[in-house]
């Protein structure tokens, strides 16, 4: 049995960093870099394109740039990236040139995905640099839900909102769960027990095969407070904020379907400005 609890815990941290980015009006896409040998988080990254007015400041770039500030001699083959959204073509190419060990992502990037959705920059044999392993689908719905909160808020501040209120965020179906993996690659990472998910496309990966999970059970306040750079750059974290984060997401049922019966919270940027920093 392939227990993916650790991968989910790491992705939950990236999701929370994405949430912190959302609080500063950035697109909620974030990542962590983990050193495979020490099993420690060595860098974090979050989208910073709005604050910096620089369209290249994607989470992946920020995370790598931070590493170079401390050392120029980095063995990227020992580094694994957990990123909430599939890297775009630009970042996929950048990561391949660096020789990254592995990339685990949440949801697919339908418009710009460079790890199999639009192009397969990570493994295209026409490119000279060594290919890298890329696995998608860990906490996929949560990554999408974070993005929805961002885009709906953008839309609501537009002169003529395009979507009717509330309907836009609750009980909205997710796109089919398409893995950019061959059957062999899928089994290698996810195990035979999850093969029905590859075929069904309407189910979600869970940490333990066919066992319900909640994001709440994966990370604690203490876990997050230990993440380097996080509180220093994006502000202190408390239980209230963490609970607000958990409430944004649906849980996943034992049969790997989404529990749409749960009421979820819609992110409210206006409320944020009323609470003292």
Query: Could you write out the three-class secondary structure of the chain?
Result: CCCCHHHHHHHHHHHHHHHHHHHCCCCCCEEEEEECCCCEEEEEEECCHHHHCCCCCCHHHHHHHHHHHHCCCCCHHHEEEEEEECCEHHHHHHHHHHCCCEEEEEECCCCCECECCCCECCCCCCCCCCCCEEEECCCHHHHHHHHHHHHHHHHHCCCCCCCCCCCCCCCCCCCCCCCCCCHHHHHHHHCHHHHHHHHHCCCCCCCCCCCCECHHHCCCHHHHHCCCCHHHHHCCCCHHHHHHHHCCCCCECCCCCECCCCCCCCCCHHHHHHCCC
Nearer to Zn ion, 58 or 148 (CB): 58
Which one of 88, 147, 218, 258 is in contact with Zn ion (CB under 5 A)?
88
Closer CB to Zn ion, 91 or 218, in the complex: 91
Residue nearest to Zn ion (CB): 91
Q: Which of residues 136-155 bind Zn ion (CB under 5 A)?
A: none
CB of 45 to Zn ion, least distance (A): 10
* Catalytic center residues: 60
Quick one: 62 or 88, whose CB is closer to Zn ion?
Answer: 88
| Minimum CB distance to Zn ion smaller for 4 or for 143 | 143
Task: Report 37-76 residues binding Zn ion (CB under 5 A).
Answer: 58
Q: Is 122 in the site for Zn ion (CB under 5 A)?
A: no
**Residue from 80, 85, 91, 242 in contact with Zn ion (CB under 5 A):** 91
Instruction: Kindly list the residues in this chain that would bind Zn ion in the complex (CB under 5 A).
Output: 58, 88, 91
């Amino acid at each position: 049995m392939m227990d993916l609890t650790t991968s989910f815990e790491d992705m939950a941290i990236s999701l929370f960093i994405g949430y912190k980015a959302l609080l500063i009006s950035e697109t909620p896409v974030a990542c962590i870099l983990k050193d495979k040998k020490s099993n420690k988080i060595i860098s974090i990254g979050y989208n910073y394109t709005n604050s910096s007015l620089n369209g290249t400041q994607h989470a992946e770039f920020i995370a790598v740039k931070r590493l170079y500030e401390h050392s120029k001699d980095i063995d990227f083959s020992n580094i694994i990236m957990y990123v909430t959204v599939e890297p775009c073509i630009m970042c996929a190419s950048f990561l391949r040139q660096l020789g990254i060990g592995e990339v685990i992502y949440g949801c697919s990037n339908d418009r710009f995905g460079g790890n199999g959705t639009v192009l397969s920059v990570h493994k295209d044999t026409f490119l000279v640099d060594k290919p890298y392993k890329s696995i998608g689908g860990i906490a996929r719905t949560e990554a999408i839900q974070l993005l929805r909160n961002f885009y709906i808020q953008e839309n609501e501040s537009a002169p003529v909102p395009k979507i009717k209120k509330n309907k836009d965020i609750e009980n909205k179906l997710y796109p089919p769960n398409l893995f950019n993996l061959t059957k062999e690659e899928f089994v290698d990472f996810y195990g035979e027990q999850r093969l029905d998910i590859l075929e069904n496309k309407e189910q979600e990966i869970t940490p333990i095969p066919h066992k319900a999970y909640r994001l709440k059970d994966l990370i604690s306040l203490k876990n997050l407070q230990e993440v380097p750079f996080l509180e220093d750059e994006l502000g202190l974290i408390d239980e209230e904020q963490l609970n607000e984060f958990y409430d944004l997401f649906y849980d996943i049922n034992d049969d790997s379907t989404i529990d749409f019966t749960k009421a979820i919270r819609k992110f409210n940027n206006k409320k944020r400005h009323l609470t003292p920093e």
